[in-house]
Amino acid sequence: MTTTAETGAAVRLHDPNVRGFASDNYSGVHPEVLAALAAANDGHQVSYGEDDYTARLQEVMEEHFGSGIECFPVFNGTGANVLSLQSLLPRWGAVVCASTAHINMDENGAPERIGGIKLLQVPTPDGKLTPELIDREAWGWGDEHRAQPLAVSITQTTELGTCYTPEEVRAIADHAHARGMRLHMDGARLANAAAHLQVPLRAFTRDAGVDILSFGGTKNGLLFGEVVVALNPEAAHGLVYLRKMNMQLASKMRFMSAQFLALLEGDLWLRSASHANAMAARLRAAVDTIDGVRPTQETESNGVFAILPPGVADRLRTSFRFYDWNEAAGEVRWMCSFDTTEEDVDAFVAAIRHELRDYGSGKAG
C-alpha cells in the first residue's frame, strides 16, 4: 500500500484476489506474524541483537534443537547460506552440492563471489545427494591443485520438492564426517519437511548430524528473515564477525526475532507448512487424473513438478502465474503457500483441464 497526500490513508496497489502458484514467496505475511511485529514495535530496544526478542529466540530455538546451539538472525536465505558455509571452511575449502541446489543455481554466484567458496556440483535425479553421489566430487585431499572438499550442503526440502528422511541425512552426515567434512543444510522449507515427515525439527537436523542450518522463515509466512543455527558450534567459526562482514547484521533485529517467535513459540510453523503441503497434495491428486499432465517428482512438500504439452503453460499463465522449471522439456513448477485455499487449487485444476481439452481438440493457439 501507499498513502494519499491529502488524507494519509493507505491505498492498495494490487488486486488481492489475484492468486498464483509461482512461489511461496508470493504470499503475504501471516496475520499472527503481523501481530507479533506490531507488538514488538512500541518503545525502544537495544539494537544489533541485544534485545529481549533475540534473547528469547535463542531460548525457543533451544527448545526445538537442544541446548548448546547458537542462533544468528539474518536478512535472507542467500545470506544465511553464504554465512553458514563460510563459517565451516578455510579459504581453500570447497562444498559438494547437488547441481540443482539453490546455492548453485539461484544465488547468482554469491557463495563463490562473496564467500570465495568453490562449489563442486553433482547431478541428481531427484535433487537429493547420497554418500555415493558425494564421492563423485569428494576426493583430492592434499592435492594443491584442487579446491579441498571440506563440506557438503543439502537442501531440505530439495529444490525439486523431495524430502530427505532422518536416516538419509544421518547417512550423509556420517559419510561426510568420516572424511573430515562438515554438513550444512539449506532449510528454506524446513517446516514443510517436518510436516511431511511428521517428526520434530531436530530429528533430521541436529540429531541426524547436521553441523549448521539455514532456517527459513520467509517461505512460511514471514515478512523477511532467516536464522543461521550453529547446531555444532565447534564446527562453525567466526559467525559473529562474518555476519557483519556479509552485511547481514540487522540493527533493529527485534523485528526479525519477533517473527520467528510468532512462528516457533507455538505451532504456527507447523500449521502453515502442513496446510501448504496439503494444498500441494490436493493439486497433485487432481492432476494425476488429467491426461496430458505428467508429474516428474514425488510430491513431498508444497510443490508439484510436471510436464505439460507445448504452449499449454503459457496459456495457463494468463490467469495463474507460475514458473518454468525446465523450459526445454516443458517442465513447470507449481508452489502452494500457507494461504493457498482449496478454491484456489480447484480453480487452477479447472483451468488446466480446460486448456488440455482445447489442446486435445485442436482449438488451442
Tens digits of residue pLDDT in 116-134:
999 999 999 999 999 999 9
pLDDT at 358: 76
Mean pLDDT for the stretch of residues 42-67: 98
DSSP β-bridge partners for residue 70: 230
Q: Which of helix, strand or coil describes residue 214?
A: strand
Tell me the C-alpha distance between 70 and 227, whole Å: 10
pLDDT at 340: 98
Task: Say which CATH class 31-264 falls into.
Answer: alpha beta
**DSSP-derived pairing of the beta strands 118-122 and 93-98:** parallel
pLDDT category at 10 given cuts 50, 70, 90 is: confident
* pLDDT tens-place string over residues 191-245: 999 999 999 999 999 999 999 999 999 999 999 999 999 999 999 999 999 999 9
pLDDT at 361: 56
pLDDT at 275: 98
For residue 364, pLDDT beyond 80: no
For residue 3, pLDDT beyond 90: no
Mean pLDDT for the stretch of residues 92-100: 98
For residue 43, pLDDT beyond 90: yes
Of 4 and 111, which is predicted with more confidence?
Answer: 111
DSSP β-bridge partners for residue 227: 73, 215
For residue 1, pLDDT beyond 90: no
pLDDT at 101: 98
Q: How much is the CA Rg of the chain, to the nearest whole Å?
A: 21
Residues 6+ apart with CB under 8 A from 154: 97, 98, 128, 129, 164, 169, 172, 183, 184, 185, 186
The domain limits of the chain are 31-264, 268-361
Q: Which of helix, strand or coil describes residue 152?
A: strand
pLDDT at 84: 98
* pLDDT tens-place string over residues 294-306: 999 999 999 999 9
pLDDT at 359: 75
Average pLDDT of the chain to the nearest whole number = 95
The C-alpha cell that represents 119 in the structure block: 562449489
pLDDT at 9: 74
Tell me the C-alpha distance between 330 and 306, whole Å: 8
The C-alpha cell that represents 361 in the structure block: 481438440
- Say what the pTM is: 0.95
pLDDT above 70: percentage of residues in the chain: 96
DSSP β-bridge partners for residue 2: 11
Residue reference for cell 539449506 = 186
- When the candidates are 3.40.50.150, 3.40.50.300, 3.90.1150.10, 3.20.20.70, the CATH number that belongs to 268-361 is 3.90.1150.10
Mean pLDDT for the stretch of residues 141-168: 98
Question: Out of 264-268, 341-345, 357-361, which region has the weakest mean confidence (pLDDT)?
Answer: 357-361
Per-residue DSSP letter, 142: T
For residue 65, pLDDT beyond 80: yes
